[in-house]
Chain A
Amino acid sequence: MTDATQASTIGGPLTFKKTLYLCLLLLIVLAGILLVAALVGSQRLPIAGTLCSLIGRADCGLSSEQHAILFDLRLPRILLAGAVGICLAAAGAGYQALLRNPLAEPYLLGVSNGAAVGTMVALVFFGTHEWSRPVMAFGGALAATFVVYRLARGRAGATPERLILAGVIVTTFLSSAIVFITTLLDATRIRSFTFWLLGDLSGTTTNLLLITFVAAAFGVVVIGLNARSLNLMMLGERDAFDLGVEVGRVRITVFVAASLLVGASVASSGSVGYVGLVVPHLVRLSFGSDNRIVIVASAIAGAAFVILADTVARTVIAPRELPVGAITALIGAPLFVYLLKRR
């Protein structure tokens, strides 16, 4: 953890200006990754033409087929990956501060599965209403968050191990609910469902993309506004109360915002795991533990991370595709083991 110390203290304490610079830097990196993701795939696109089209100019020398690949296939997928990354990484950072546990993560806590159950119920019963998916996913995420939180709080407070166990219980319980709902579906839809459950970014609509982005922006702003309170709460709720934090209000606000983020991302792309673990961890390692930078930087870096993971997922065994969740888990699970052992 010495890396984190140095990074957070170089040039004195964190200020607004410094946070702004670091976020701008991350945004530039994100733009670069977005461009690369737009170029590579089953068909490679020319750099100059792509860049020219992306900044909105007409007549960039792309063939109509290339134009269609870029704007109808790749860009919606990249934007969705970005939105999902924002949602999951910011939610992860929020849960971690709130539960005082660097291992807390939407997927591991069972919150993603809660949202998945909500989404599936919406698909089975209200299939025709597009809005029902995100709304039910949000409801499912909120319910799962509440249950995990209550299960994890023992008489001596929530220990990290207890929290993870509570997450396992909720996850497995909801998994069987998912299996149960799956049996209600016809055989042709089952395969696409299994794919979706592991994180599938291919099936989006403009509306769903819009909903995910609005939820992402709203959730990040709400959690970000509570960042200074979270700084104190992650060092103990009683101390935070003593120092003037309205602990109950902050807890509810952040739980609801984080559930909204998870719900939006699961409704549009299934459960992509470990993003909320990997990204905030790397951000803390680079910039320190102050949530005023951790939340926002996680959101930006989360977008970059999922876009990158999805680019790998759709190119590594092209023309076939892997679910993006398989790639993020491949990176996230070893990191989780490392974090657990180091404690």
Chain B
Amino acid sequence: MLEANEITVRYGLRRAVAGVSLSLKPGEVTAIIGPNGAGKSTMLRALNGGLRPHSGNISLDGQPLGSYSRRAIARRVAVVAQEADLRFPVTVFEFVLGGRYAWSGTAAWGWETQRDFEIARQVLRETRLEELANRLMNELSGGERQRAVLARALATEAAVLLLDEPTANLDLAHQAAILALVRKRCDHQHTAALVITHDVNLAAEFADHVLLMKNGATVAFGGPHEVLTPELLKEVFAVSVLVDAHPISGVPRVTPIHEASV
């Protein structure tokens, strides 16, 4: 549904993304991993129409991305980014209703419909935030707040979810909870998801495909078993790793080998 074909994005002279192709399909979770500065976030912003590629093309449901209006893209592609700016007091419910913006009838003025309220309540249930609906966003814990950001993205009813380090700054339990929600959404509603993460093991557990990037280019693309190998990971991250099977799920488990520990 969202497809990038050999796209290159430049910041001035620097190529942040160089000829990367990617296809997001319904019901599948794709993870992008790579070191800082590999072009992961740039890739995500290009897929959302926030950055225009200098070459290559991006298509959404078979049409060029550039042919859609801002609102039309927002109804189809939702982004979960790092935390919002919360200098003004807004309740969790108001915050999540923000996800309904692109569906409002008129250009900017407009009030939420009954359906908008229903959808907001439903995603609050889905993210287990119902009881916090009337609390202020800046009173929430980091994990709760990140769930609210995810809830707002789900409220858009977009068929494509783009997540930029959704689990950064979260503890172990909350990291898994966020990705489990995304996984569930993909399995049940045929959503396509793209997750940028630094956590290789989370990628192995939740993703169908892994895109390994370095210096703006694709190093490898495939299932977790194909991509998360000691050779490829060493090439990208310049650190030796041990890869074995997760004792329960059997997915690849990556453990860095530091010189001090050998």
Decide whether A and B assemble into one complex: yes
Query: A244: CB under 8 A from chain B?
Result: yes
Closest to A291 in B: B88
Asked whether B89 lies within 8 Å of A243 as measured between CB atoms, the reply is no
- We find that the number of chain A residues with CB closer than 8 angstroms to chain B is 39
Asked whether B108 lies within 8 Å of A229 as measured between CB atoms, the reply is yes
In the complex, which of the residues B85, B99, B111, B136 contacts A236, with contact meaning CB atoms closer than 8 Å? B85
Asked whether A15 lies within 8 Å of B108 as measured between CB atoms, the reply is no
- Expressed in whole angstroms, the Cα–Cα distance for A224 and B108 within the complex equals 9
Asked whether A246 lies within 8 Å of B84 as measured between CB atoms, the reply is no
Query: A16: CB under 8 A from chain B?
Result: yes
- Expressed in whole angstroms, the Cα–Cα distance for A187 and B112 within the complex equals 59
For chain B, residues 79 to 112, give those with C-beta under 8 angstroms from any C-beta of chain A: 79, 81, 84-91, 93-95, 97-99, 101-102, 104, 107-112
- Expressed in whole angstroms, the Cα–Cα distance for A107 and B107 within the complex equals 31
* A206-237 to B contact mask, C-beta < 8 Å, 1/0: 00000000000000000011111101101110
Known: A228-B109, A231-B98. A102 touches B134 (CB 8 A): no
Asked whether B112 lies within 8 Å of A244 as measured between CB atoms, the reply is no
Give the contact stretch, choosing among A2-10, A178-186, A328-336: A2-10
Residues of B within 8 A of A13 (CB): 93-94, 97, 112, 117
Asked whether A244 lies within 8 Å of B102 as measured between CB atoms, the reply is yes
- Expressed in whole angstroms, the Cα–Cα distance for A100 and B89 within the complex equals 12
Asked whether B94 lies within 8 Å of A5 as measured between CB atoms, the reply is no
Query: A239: CB under 8 A from chain B?
Result: yes
Asked whether A243 lies within 8 Å of B101 as measured between CB atoms, the reply is yes
For chain A, residues 1 to 54, give those with C-beta under 8 angstroms from any C-beta of chain B: 1, 4-5, 8-9, 13-16
Asked whether B101 lies within 8 Å of A16 as measured between CB atoms, the reply is no
Residues of A within 8 A of B88 (CB): 97, 100, 102, 234-235, 284, 289
For chain A, residues 167 to 219, give those with C-beta under 8 angstroms from any C-beta of chain B: none
Residues of B within 8 A of A239 (CB): 79, 81, 84
- Expressed in whole angstroms, the Cα–Cα distance for A342 and B149 within the complex equals 26
Asked whether B70 lies within 8 Å of A102 as measured between CB atoms, the reply is no
Query: B156: CB under 8 A from chain A?
Result: yes
Closest to A253 in B: B108
Asked whether B85 lies within 8 Å of A228 as measured between CB atoms, the reply is no
Asked whether B95 lies within 8 Å of A235 as measured between CB atoms, the reply is yes
Chain B contact-residue range equals 35 or more
Asked whether B111 lies within 8 Å of A15 as measured between CB atoms, the reply is yes
- Expressed in whole angstroms, the Cα–Cα distance for A243 and B152 within the complex equals 9
Nearest-Cβ distance from residue A207 to partner chain B, whole angstroms = 31
- Expressed in whole angstroms, the Cα–Cα distance for A243 and B74 within the complex equals 5
Asked whether A246 lies within 8 Å of B93 as measured between CB atoms, the reply is no
- Expressed in whole angstroms, the Cα–Cα distance for A241 and B77 within the complex equals 12
Asked whether A5 lies within 8 Å of B89 as measured between CB atoms, the reply is yes
Query: B241: CB under 8 A from chain A?
Result: no
Nearest-Cβ distance from residue A318 to partner chain B, whole angstroms = 41
Known: A160-B87, A234-B88, A235-B95. A242 touches B50 (CB 8 A): yes
Nearest-Cβ distance from residue B193 to partner chain A, whole angstroms = 15
Asked whether A243 lies within 8 Å of B99 as measured between CB atoms, the reply is yes
Asked whether B50 lies within 8 Å of A250 as measured between CB atoms, the reply is no
Closest to B45 in A: A238
- Expressed in whole angstroms, the Cα–Cα distance for A241 and B87 within the complex equals 18
Residues of A within 8 A of B156 (CB): 243
Query: B198: CB under 8 A from chain A?
Result: no
Asked whether A284 lies within 8 Å of B50 as measured between CB atoms, the reply is no
Residues of B within 8 A of A290 (CB): 94
- Expressed in whole angstroms, the Cα–Cα distance for A236 and B90 within the complex equals 13
Residues of A within 8 A of B117 (CB): 13
- Expressed in whole angstroms, the Cα–Cα distance for A4 and B101 within the complex equals 23
Known: A235-B98, A244-B74, A289-B88. A5 touches B134 (CB 8 A): yes
Residues of A within 8 A of B97 (CB): 13
Asked whether A16 lies within 8 Å of B111 as measured between CB atoms, the reply is yes
Residues of B within 8 A of A243 (CB): 74, 78, 98-99, 101-102, 152, 156
Residues of A within 8 A of B25 (CB): none
Residues of B within 8 A of A236 (CB): 84-85
Residues of B within 8 A of A79 (CB): none
Asked whether A8 lies within 8 Å of B94 as measured between CB atoms, the reply is yes
Residues of B within 8 A of A289 (CB): 88-90, 94
* A228-266 to B contact mask, C-beta < 8 Å, 1/0: 110110111011011111100010000000000000000
Residues of B within 8 A of A15 (CB): 111
Query: A315: CB under 8 A from chain B?
Result: no
Closest to A1 in B: B89
Closest to A238 in B: B81
For chain A, residues 267 to 290, give those with C-beta under 8 angstroms from any C-beta of chain B: 284, 288-290
- Expressed in whole angstroms, the Cα–Cα distance for A238 and B44 within the complex equals 13
Known: A4-B136, A228-B108, A292-B109. 12 other contacts (CB 8 A): A97-B88, A225-B107, A229-B108, A235-B86, A242-B74, A242-B78, A242-B79, A242-B81, A244-B70, A244-B71, A244-B73, A289-B89
Interface residues of B (CB under 8 A from A): 48, 50, 70-71, 73-75, 78-79, 81, 84-91, 93-95, 97-99, 101-102, 104, 107-112, 117, 134-136, 152, 156
Interface residues of A (CB under 8 A from B): 1, 4-5, 8-9, 13-16, 97, 100-102, 160, 224-229, 231-232, 234-236, 238-239, 241-246, 250, 284, 288-290, 292
Please, could you name 27 A-B residue pairs with CB atoms under 8 Å apart, sorted by A? A5-B89, A5-B91, A13-B97, A13-B117, A15-B111, A100-B85, A102-B87, A160-B87, A225-B108, A227-B108, A229-B108, A235-B88, A239-B84, A241-B50, A241-B70, A242-B50, A242-B74, A242-B81, A243-B78, A243-B101, A243-B152, A244-B71, A244-B102, A288-B94, A289-B88, A289-B89, A292-B109
